[in-house]
Chains A and B, each alone.
Chain A
């Protein structure tokens, strides 16, 4: 049995023609050529994790996070480069520079009330 056999009913023929015309119109007029994935990736056979785009993006993310942490650390003053010095020693006592500054402030500030019995 073959569906290509013409239907005796004229109305059926019209329907067939209508449906065929519709589907034929929907089909691409020109079919695209076969994709050529080998042309896009000539060395695809040697693909390694290093060339994986997701791998690269992970490295970029890690580098960005490291840069962010480094920047925060630097800006918080924990890094000394000769221009800034720590206000406190690691054991919690004030550094000599800080003591000198504070002493100078006490002397220069007239608003500080004198402590009775102290020179």
Chain B
């Protein structure tokens, strides 16, 4: 990732005077590179829908740009701002007419993302993954957040603690419990296949 003045300008030191257009674009792209996956992970943890999470992440960045354009209040911490917007967007999705009246969410399709016939092992894997997805949906939101950050982004406890605003000890505790809850439920459902 490109490191430069634009990146230094980020990181909680945004000033009231807007940068030049090119600098602003570079800053925007640098923020996207840094935090796009985190936004995706939190949106994914909310709905267990990878495509929707991508849309939410993109929309959050679009709103950041609009905020800059409007020249509204300074954003002291763009990362926190983006995460908050992404969370709000994910919550808004629950209230949207699309959610209430819309099409079948992909998570109800048992993880089958293609109409192509799958080999047996792929089908077994898809079945196991579908069970994991269904089980995750029943877990508390906090469990999903922490499991997604740990296993999707491969964040360690420190990074997760930083992102969620809790301390590392709490992360260890929550991660351990979430992992155990998921494992217990999968075992109860007979999911023993290791893809």
Interface residues of chain B: helix, strand, loop or mixed (majority): helix
Interface size for B (C-beta < 8 A) is 41
> Chain B's nearest CB lies how many Å from the CB of A21?
5
Interface residues of chain A: helix, strand, loop or mixed (majority): helix
* Most-contacted residue by chain B among A22, A24, A45 (CB, 10 A): A22
A17 CA to B183 CA, complexed, in Å: 12
Smallest CB gap from B65: residue in A: A37
A90 at the interface (CB under 8 A from B): no
Instruction: Verify B152–A24 contact, CB threshold 8 A.
Output: yes
Chosen A-B contacts, 20 in total, with CB atoms closer than 8 Å, are: A1-B157, A3-B160, A4-B154, A15-B179, A16-B151, A18-B128, A18-B195, A20-B151, A27-B40, A27-B50, A28-B40, A28-B50, A28-B54, A34-B33, A34-B61, A35-B61, A35-B62, A36-B25, A38-B25, A38-B65
**Given pairs A22-B151, A27-B40, A34-B29, 20 additional interface contacts (CB within 8 A):** A1-B168, A1-B172, A3-B150, A3-B171, A3-B175, A14-B194, A16-B151, A18-B132, A19-B182, A20-B151, A22-B128, A23-B148, A26-B152, A27-B37, A28-B50, A28-B54, A31-B36, A34-B28, A35-B61, A38-B21
